[in-house]
Structure 1
Amino acid sequence: MRYKIDGITIRSENAAKPCNQKSQRVDSYLCTLSAETLLDFGCGKLRYSDTLVKISPRVTFLDSLVQINREQLIRGERTTVANYIRQNYPNCQTVSYEDVKQHALKYDLITCTNVLSAIPCEKTLHDVISHICRLLKSNGVAVFVNQHRSSYFKRYKSGSRRLFGHIHKGARGYSYYGIVGQNEIEELLKNTGFRVLRSWRAGESTFTEATHA
Protein backbone atom coordinates (compact mmCIF):
# COMPACT_ATOMS: atom_id res chain seq x y z
CA MET A 1 0.00 0.00 0.00
CA ARG A 2 1.00 3.61 -0.51
CA TYR A 3 -0.14 6.35 1.84
CA LYS A 4 -0.21 10.12 1.44
CA ILE A 5 0.31 11.69 4.86
CA ASP A 6 0.95 15.41 5.36
CA GLY A 7 2.23 15.74 1.82
CA ILE A 8 4.64 12.79 1.92
CA THR A 9 4.32 9.33 0.37
CA ILE A 10 4.92 6.20 2.43
CA ARG A 11 5.51 3.06 0.37
CA SER A 12 4.64 0.34 2.87
CA GLU A 13 5.33 -2.42 0.32
CA ASN A 14 9.02 -1.78 0.95
CA ALA A 15 8.59 -2.91 4.56
CA ALA A 16 7.79 -6.50 3.55
CA LYS A 17 10.51 -8.98 4.51
CA PRO A 18 11.64 -11.96 2.36
CA CYS A 19 11.34 -15.63 3.28
CA ASN A 20 14.95 -15.82 4.50
CA GLN A 21 13.99 -13.43 7.30
CA LYS A 22 11.24 -15.57 8.79
CA SER A 23 10.78 -15.51 12.54
CA GLN A 24 11.32 -19.03 13.82
CA ARG A 25 8.84 -18.43 16.65
CA VAL A 26 6.16 -17.28 14.23
CA ASP A 27 6.85 -20.10 11.79
CA SER A 28 6.75 -22.73 14.54
CA TYR A 29 3.43 -21.36 15.77
CA LEU A 30 1.91 -21.38 12.27
CA CYS A 31 2.92 -25.02 11.91
CA THR A 32 0.58 -25.90 14.80
CA LEU A 33 -2.46 -24.62 12.89
CA SER A 34 -4.63 -26.22 10.23
CA ALA A 35 -7.60 -25.09 8.16
CA GLU A 36 -9.55 -26.04 5.05
CA THR A 37 -9.48 -22.45 3.81
CA LEU A 38 -6.94 -19.82 4.78
CA LEU A 39 -6.52 -16.13 3.98
CA ASP A 40 -3.10 -14.54 4.43
CA PHE A 41 -4.03 -10.87 4.83
CA GLY A 42 -0.95 -8.86 3.88
CA CYS A 43 1.15 -11.61 2.30
CA GLY A 44 4.00 -9.26 1.38
CA LYS A 45 6.90 -11.10 -0.26
CA LEU A 46 5.43 -14.50 0.73
CA ARG A 47 7.55 -14.66 3.87
CA TYR A 48 5.54 -17.57 5.35
CA SER A 49 3.85 -18.93 2.23
CA ASP A 50 5.66 -22.29 2.24
CA THR A 51 4.32 -22.96 5.73
CA LEU A 52 0.80 -21.73 4.98
CA VAL A 53 0.33 -24.02 1.98
CA LYS A 54 1.30 -26.95 4.21
CA ILE A 55 -1.35 -26.21 6.82
CA SER A 56 -4.16 -25.49 4.34
CA PRO A 57 -4.97 -26.89 0.86
CA ARG A 58 -6.58 -23.62 -0.25
CA VAL A 59 -4.82 -20.38 0.56
CA THR A 60 -5.70 -16.91 -0.65
CA PHE A 61 -2.83 -14.43 -0.56
CA LEU A 62 -3.95 -10.81 -0.24
CA ASP A 63 -1.97 -7.61 -0.55
CA SER A 64 -1.97 -4.34 -2.46
CA LEU A 65 -1.91 -4.32 -6.26
CA VAL A 66 1.58 -2.87 -6.28
CA GLN A 67 2.88 -5.60 -3.96
CA ILE A 68 1.25 -8.43 -5.90
CA ASN A 69 2.14 -7.24 -9.39
CA ARG A 70 5.55 -5.59 -9.12
CA GLU A 71 8.56 -7.60 -10.22
CA GLN A 72 10.78 -8.48 -7.27
CA LEU A 73 12.88 -11.27 -5.84
CA ILE A 74 10.62 -14.05 -4.51
CA ARG A 75 12.37 -17.10 -3.07
CA GLY A 76 15.41 -16.52 -5.26
CA GLU A 77 13.37 -15.95 -8.43
CA ARG A 78 12.82 -12.64 -10.21
CA THR A 79 9.05 -12.63 -10.64
CA THR A 80 5.83 -11.24 -9.19
CA VAL A 81 3.88 -12.52 -6.20
CA ALA A 82 0.92 -13.31 -8.46
CA ASN A 83 3.03 -15.30 -10.93
CA TYR A 84 4.89 -17.18 -8.22
CA ILE A 85 1.64 -18.31 -6.60
CA ARG A 86 0.13 -19.26 -9.94
CA GLN A 87 3.14 -21.39 -10.88
CA ASN A 88 3.95 -22.98 -7.52
CA TYR A 89 0.82 -23.26 -5.37
CA PRO A 90 -2.07 -25.24 -6.96
CA ASN A 91 -5.56 -24.34 -5.67
CA CYS A 92 -4.27 -21.01 -4.32
CA GLN A 93 -5.06 -17.50 -5.52
CA THR A 94 -4.20 -13.83 -5.05
CA VAL A 95 -6.60 -11.01 -4.25
CA SER A 96 -5.68 -7.34 -4.19
CA TYR A 97 -6.61 -5.12 -1.28
CA GLU A 98 -8.11 -2.72 -3.79
CA ASP A 99 -10.66 -5.45 -4.68
CA VAL A 100 -11.26 -6.74 -1.15
CA LYS A 101 -14.74 -5.18 -0.91
CA GLN A 102 -15.89 -7.45 -3.75
CA HIS A 103 -14.27 -10.55 -2.22
CA ALA A 104 -16.93 -12.60 -0.46
CA LEU A 105 -15.33 -15.99 0.27
CA LYS A 106 -15.38 -16.88 3.96
CA TYR A 107 -12.34 -18.46 5.64
CA ASP A 108 -11.73 -20.89 8.49
CA LEU A 109 -8.44 -19.20 9.34
CA ILE A 110 -7.07 -15.73 8.59
CA THR A 111 -3.48 -14.79 9.34
CA CYS A 112 -2.28 -11.20 9.64
CA THR A 113 1.42 -11.20 10.38
CA ASN A 114 3.34 -7.96 11.00
CA VAL A 115 0.86 -6.00 8.90
CA LEU A 116 -0.88 -3.64 11.32
CA SER A 117 2.43 -2.14 12.44
CA ALA A 118 3.05 -0.92 8.87
CA ILE A 119 -0.25 0.98 8.54
CA PRO A 120 0.13 4.71 9.35
CA CYS A 121 -3.52 5.57 8.61
CA GLU A 122 -6.19 5.10 11.29
CA LYS A 123 -9.01 4.61 8.77
CA THR A 124 -7.08 1.95 6.84
CA LEU A 125 -6.18 0.21 10.10
CA HIS A 126 -9.87 0.05 11.04
CA ASP A 127 -10.85 -1.05 7.52
CA VAL A 128 -8.29 -3.89 7.46
CA ILE A 129 -9.51 -5.35 10.76
CA SER A 130 -13.15 -4.92 9.66
CA HIS A 131 -12.51 -6.79 6.39
CA ILE A 132 -10.80 -9.61 8.29
CA CYS A 133 -13.84 -9.85 10.56
CA ARG A 134 -16.19 -9.85 7.55
CA LEU A 135 -14.26 -12.57 5.71
CA LEU A 136 -13.98 -14.87 8.73
CA LYS A 137 -16.43 -17.75 9.08
CA SER A 138 -18.72 -17.61 12.11
CA ASN A 139 -16.63 -20.29 13.84
CA GLY A 140 -13.33 -19.25 12.28
CA VAL A 141 -10.20 -17.90 13.94
CA ALA A 142 -8.14 -14.86 13.01
CA VAL A 143 -4.50 -14.75 14.07
CA PHE A 144 -2.67 -11.46 14.50
CA VAL A 145 1.08 -11.33 15.05
CA ASN A 146 2.72 -8.03 15.95
CA GLN A 147 6.04 -7.01 17.40
CA HIS A 148 5.82 -5.38 20.82
CA ARG A 149 9.47 -4.41 20.72
CA SER A 150 12.14 -4.20 18.06
CA SER A 151 15.71 -3.03 17.72
CA TYR A 152 14.64 -1.18 14.54
CA PHE A 153 12.31 1.04 16.54
CA LYS A 154 15.12 3.10 18.11
CA ARG A 155 16.07 4.44 14.69
CA TYR A 156 12.48 5.42 13.91
CA LYS A 157 11.99 7.38 17.15
CA SER A 158 13.86 10.31 15.63
CA GLY A 159 10.96 10.76 13.19
CA SER A 160 7.54 12.34 13.67
CA ARG A 161 5.03 10.54 15.91
CA ARG A 162 2.11 8.77 14.20
CA LEU A 163 -0.46 6.33 15.67
CA PHE A 164 1.54 3.51 17.29
CA GLY A 165 4.91 4.57 15.92
CA HIS A 166 6.88 7.11 13.92
CA ILE A 167 7.41 8.23 10.34
CA HIS A 168 11.08 8.04 9.41
CA LYS A 169 12.95 9.46 6.44
CA GLY A 170 15.67 7.14 5.16
CA ALA A 171 17.74 6.61 2.04
CA ARG A 172 14.76 5.03 0.22
CA GLY A 173 12.27 7.71 1.22
CA TYR A 174 9.73 7.81 4.01
CA SER A 175 8.61 4.76 5.96
CA TYR A 176 6.47 4.05 8.99
CA TYR A 177 7.04 1.58 11.80
CA GLY A 178 4.66 1.06 14.71
CA ILE A 179 4.74 -1.03 17.87
CA VAL A 180 1.33 -2.64 18.37
CA GLY A 181 1.49 -4.12 21.85
CA GLN A 182 -0.77 -6.64 23.52
CA ASN A 183 -3.12 -4.05 25.02
CA GLU A 184 -3.31 -2.10 21.76
CA ILE A 185 -4.20 -5.08 19.56
CA GLU A 186 -6.79 -6.38 22.02
CA GLU A 187 -8.46 -2.95 22.16
CA LEU A 188 -8.45 -2.64 18.35
CA LEU A 189 -10.05 -6.06 17.94
CA LYS A 190 -12.71 -5.56 20.60
CA ASN A 191 -13.72 -2.30 18.94
CA THR A 192 -14.07 -3.98 15.53
CA GLY A 193 -16.37 -6.93 16.18
CA PHE A 194 -13.90 -9.46 17.57
CA ARG A 195 -13.66 -11.47 20.76
CA VAL A 196 -10.12 -12.26 21.86
CA LEU A 197 -9.65 -15.99 22.53
CA ARG A 198 -6.11 -15.74 23.84
CA SER A 199 -3.13 -13.42 23.61
CA TRP A 200 0.47 -13.92 24.66
CA ARG A 201 4.02 -12.73 24.14
CA ALA A 202 6.94 -14.79 22.90
CA GLY A 203 10.25 -13.13 22.18
CA GLU A 204 9.63 -9.81 20.43
CA SER A 205 6.20 -10.87 19.11
CA THR A 206 2.67 -10.71 20.46
CA PHE A 207 0.34 -13.49 19.27
CA THR A 208 -3.42 -12.89 19.39
CA GLU A 209 -6.17 -15.31 18.39
CA ALA A 210 -9.66 -13.92 17.94
CA THR A 211 -13.09 -14.85 16.66
CA HIS A 212 -16.43 -13.11 16.17
CA ALA A 213 -17.83 -11.35 19.23
Structure 2
Amino acid sequence: MTDDNNLFKEALGQLGDVKPLVRERRVPLKKQQEAGLNQRARREAAIREEAQELNPLAGEFVEPVDPWDPLEFKRDGVQNGVYRNLRLGKYQVDARLDLHRHSVESARRAVFEFVRDCVEADVRCALITHGKGEGRKQPALLKSCVNAWLPQLDEVLAFHSAQKQHGGLGATYVLLRKSERKRQDNLERHQRRR
Protein backbone atom coordinates (compact mmCIF):
# COMPACT_ATOMS: atom_id res chain seq x y z
CA MET A 1 0.00 0.00 0.00
CA THR A 2 2.86 2.35 0.80
CA ASP A 3 4.35 1.84 -2.65
CA ASP A 4 1.06 2.86 -4.22
CA ASN A 5 0.95 6.04 -2.10
CA ASN A 6 4.50 6.90 -3.09
CA LEU A 7 3.77 6.34 -6.78
CA PHE A 8 0.71 8.55 -6.49
CA LYS A 9 2.68 11.32 -4.78
CA GLU A 10 5.43 11.09 -7.44
CA ALA A 11 2.85 11.35 -10.23
CA LEU A 12 1.33 14.41 -8.59
CA GLY A 13 4.74 15.99 -8.16
CA GLN A 14 5.44 15.64 -11.88
CA LEU A 15 2.27 17.58 -12.74
CA GLY A 16 3.69 20.69 -11.15
CA ASP A 17 1.06 23.11 -9.85
CA VAL A 18 -1.15 20.54 -8.11
CA LYS A 19 -2.50 21.83 -4.79
CA PRO A 20 -4.52 19.97 -2.21
CA LEU A 21 -8.22 20.85 -2.04
CA VAL A 22 -9.22 23.14 0.77
CA ARG A 23 -11.93 21.60 2.88
CA GLU A 24 -14.60 24.05 3.94
CA ARG A 25 -16.30 23.58 7.27
CA ARG A 26 -19.84 22.43 6.98
CA VAL A 27 -22.60 24.15 8.87
CA PRO A 28 -24.67 21.68 10.88
CA LEU A 29 -28.14 21.27 9.38
CA LYS A 30 -31.35 21.55 11.34
CA LYS A 31 -32.55 18.47 13.07
CA GLN A 32 -34.10 15.99 10.67
CA GLN A 33 -37.35 15.98 12.67
CA GLU A 34 -37.79 19.77 12.35
CA ALA A 35 -37.12 19.55 8.61
CA GLY A 36 -39.76 16.80 8.33
CA LEU A 37 -42.36 18.92 10.14
CA ASN A 38 -41.58 21.93 7.98
CA GLN A 39 -41.80 19.80 4.85
CA ARG A 40 -45.15 18.35 5.96
CA ALA A 41 -46.52 21.86 6.60
CA ARG A 42 -45.38 23.01 3.15
CA ARG A 43 -46.90 19.93 1.54
CA GLU A 44 -50.26 20.46 3.31
CA ALA A 45 -50.27 24.13 2.32
CA ALA A 46 -49.58 23.16 -1.30
CA ILE A 47 -52.44 20.65 -1.23
CA ARG A 48 -54.82 23.29 0.18
CA GLU A 49 -53.67 25.78 -2.47
CA GLU A 50 -54.11 23.24 -5.26
CA ALA A 51 -57.56 22.28 -3.98
CA GLN A 52 -58.55 25.97 -3.97
CA GLU A 53 -57.41 26.29 -7.60
CA LEU A 54 -59.31 23.17 -8.66
CA ASN A 55 -62.41 23.96 -6.60
CA PRO A 56 -63.59 27.53 -7.14
CA LEU A 57 -66.14 27.41 -4.31
CA ALA A 58 -65.21 30.00 -1.71
CA GLY A 59 -64.49 28.67 1.75
CA GLU A 60 -64.63 32.03 3.50
CA PHE A 61 -67.52 33.67 5.34
CA VAL A 62 -70.96 32.48 4.29
CA GLU A 63 -74.12 34.51 4.90
CA PRO A 64 -76.20 32.47 7.38
CA VAL A 65 -79.62 31.21 6.33
CA ASP A 66 -82.43 30.49 8.78
CA PRO A 67 -83.30 26.76 9.07
CA TRP A 68 -86.89 27.56 8.01
CA ASP A 69 -86.03 29.78 5.01
CA PRO A 70 -86.39 28.29 1.52
CA LEU A 71 -83.37 28.42 -0.78
CA GLU A 72 -84.03 29.92 -4.21
CA PHE A 73 -81.88 31.09 -7.13
CA LYS A 74 -82.45 31.55 -10.86
CA ARG A 75 -79.98 32.79 -13.46
CA ASP A 76 -81.02 35.26 -16.12
CA GLY A 77 -82.33 33.42 -19.15
CA VAL A 78 -84.00 30.57 -17.25
CA GLN A 79 -87.66 30.56 -18.24
CA ASN A 80 -90.19 31.17 -15.47
CA GLY A 81 -92.09 27.99 -16.38
CA VAL A 82 -88.92 25.90 -16.11
CA TYR A 83 -88.13 27.44 -12.73
CA ARG A 84 -91.72 26.89 -11.52
CA ASN A 85 -91.52 23.19 -12.52
CA LEU A 86 -88.21 22.88 -10.65
CA ARG A 87 -89.69 24.54 -7.57
CA LEU A 88 -92.72 22.23 -7.66
CA GLY A 89 -90.53 19.13 -7.99
CA LYS A 90 -91.91 18.17 -11.41
CA TYR A 91 -88.56 17.18 -12.90
CA GLN A 92 -87.18 13.70 -12.44
CA VAL A 93 -84.29 13.71 -9.97
CA ASP A 94 -81.47 11.79 -11.68
CA ALA A 95 -78.75 12.20 -9.04
CA ARG A 96 -78.62 12.71 -5.28
CA LEU A 97 -75.99 13.92 -2.83
CA ASP A 98 -76.42 13.58 0.93
CA LEU A 99 -74.25 15.97 2.97
CA HIS A 100 -75.31 14.75 6.42
CA ARG A 101 -72.29 14.16 8.69
CA HIS A 102 -69.98 16.08 6.33
CA SER A 103 -67.66 18.79 7.58
CA VAL A 104 -67.87 22.11 5.74
CA GLU A 105 -64.65 21.42 3.84
CA SER A 106 -65.63 17.89 2.79
CA ALA A 107 -69.11 19.18 1.82
CA ARG A 108 -67.51 21.90 -0.31
CA ARG A 109 -65.42 19.33 -2.12
CA ALA A 110 -68.40 16.95 -2.47
CA VAL A 111 -70.72 19.63 -3.92
CA PHE A 112 -68.12 20.71 -6.48
CA GLU A 113 -67.37 17.13 -7.58
CA PHE A 114 -71.08 16.21 -7.59
CA VAL A 115 -72.03 19.09 -9.91
CA ARG A 116 -69.08 18.35 -12.20
CA ASP A 117 -70.00 14.64 -12.35
CA CYS A 118 -73.67 15.44 -13.01
CA VAL A 119 -72.79 17.67 -15.96
CA GLU A 120 -70.48 14.99 -17.40
CA ALA A 121 -73.28 12.41 -17.05
CA ASP A 122 -75.89 14.73 -18.66
CA VAL A 123 -77.94 14.98 -15.45
CA ARG A 124 -80.34 17.93 -15.69
CA CYS A 125 -81.98 17.82 -12.26
CA ALA A 126 -80.24 16.74 -9.06
CA LEU A 127 -81.07 16.81 -5.36
CA ILE A 128 -78.68 17.85 -2.61
CA THR A 129 -79.74 16.91 0.92
CA HIS A 130 -78.07 19.18 3.46
CA GLY A 131 -80.48 19.17 6.39
CA LYS A 132 -82.09 22.18 8.04
CA GLY A 133 -79.50 22.39 10.79
CA GLU A 134 -82.20 23.06 13.32
CA GLY A 135 -81.26 22.98 17.02
CA ARG A 136 -77.50 23.16 16.47
CA LYS A 137 -74.93 25.48 17.98
CA GLN A 138 -74.43 27.03 14.54
CA PRO A 139 -77.82 26.52 12.84
CA ALA A 140 -78.19 25.73 9.13
CA LEU A 141 -74.45 25.76 8.45
CA LEU A 142 -74.41 23.34 5.50
CA LYS A 143 -77.66 24.78 4.19
CA SER A 144 -76.10 28.26 4.24
CA CYS A 145 -72.98 26.96 2.51
CA VAL A 146 -74.96 25.23 -0.25
CA ASN A 147 -76.90 28.47 -0.75
CA ALA A 148 -73.63 30.39 -1.14
CA TRP A 149 -71.74 27.81 -3.23
CA LEU A 150 -74.25 26.83 -5.93
CA PRO A 151 -74.50 30.29 -7.57
CA GLN A 152 -70.69 30.29 -7.92
CA LEU A 153 -70.84 27.32 -10.31
CA ASP A 154 -71.63 28.28 -13.91
CA GLU A 155 -73.15 24.84 -14.52
CA VAL A 156 -75.95 25.59 -12.03
CA LEU A 157 -78.84 27.37 -13.78
CA ALA A 158 -81.25 27.43 -10.83
CA PHE A 159 -81.99 25.82 -7.48
CA HIS A 160 -84.84 25.76 -5.01
CA SER A 161 -85.68 24.07 -1.72
CA ALA A 162 -87.29 20.68 -2.32
CA GLN A 163 -90.88 19.55 -1.88
CA LYS A 164 -91.79 17.74 1.33
CA GLN A 165 -91.54 14.25 -0.26
CA HIS A 166 -87.91 14.98 -1.26
CA GLY A 167 -86.72 16.47 2.03
CA GLY A 168 -88.46 19.83 2.19
CA LEU A 169 -86.33 22.67 3.55
CA GLY A 170 -83.51 20.22 4.29
CA ALA A 171 -82.89 19.50 0.59
CA THR A 172 -82.46 21.48 -2.61
CA TYR A 173 -83.33 20.77 -6.24
CA VAL A 174 -80.55 21.81 -8.62
CA LEU A 175 -81.16 22.50 -12.31
CA LEU A 176 -77.97 22.00 -14.32
CA ARG A 177 -76.85 23.31 -17.68
CA LYS A 178 -77.09 20.91 -20.62
CA SER A 179 -73.82 19.46 -21.82
CA GLU A 180 -72.71 20.49 -25.30
CA ARG A 181 -73.51 17.01 -26.60
CA LYS A 182 -77.06 17.12 -25.19
CA ARG A 183 -77.56 20.60 -26.65
CA GLN A 184 -76.52 19.34 -30.11
CA ASP A 185 -78.86 16.33 -29.81
CA ASN A 186 -81.80 18.62 -28.99
CA LEU A 187 -80.93 20.95 -31.87
CA GLU A 188 -80.82 18.05 -34.35
CA ARG A 189 -84.08 16.55 -33.02
CA HIS A 190 -85.93 19.85 -33.32
CA GLN A 191 -84.60 20.49 -36.83
CA ARG A 192 -85.88 17.08 -37.98
CA ARG A 193 -89.41 17.98 -36.86
CA ARG A 194 -89.63 20.92 -39.27
Normalised-by-shorter TM-score class: 0.3 to 0.5
Greater relative contact order structure (CA < 8 Å, 6+ sep): 2
Q: TM-score w.r.t. structure 2 length?
A: 0.32
Q: TM-score w.r.t. structure 1 length?
A: 0.30
The structure richer in helix per residue is 2
Report which of the two structures shows the higher radius of gyration computed on alpha carbons: 2
The structure richer in strand per residue is 1
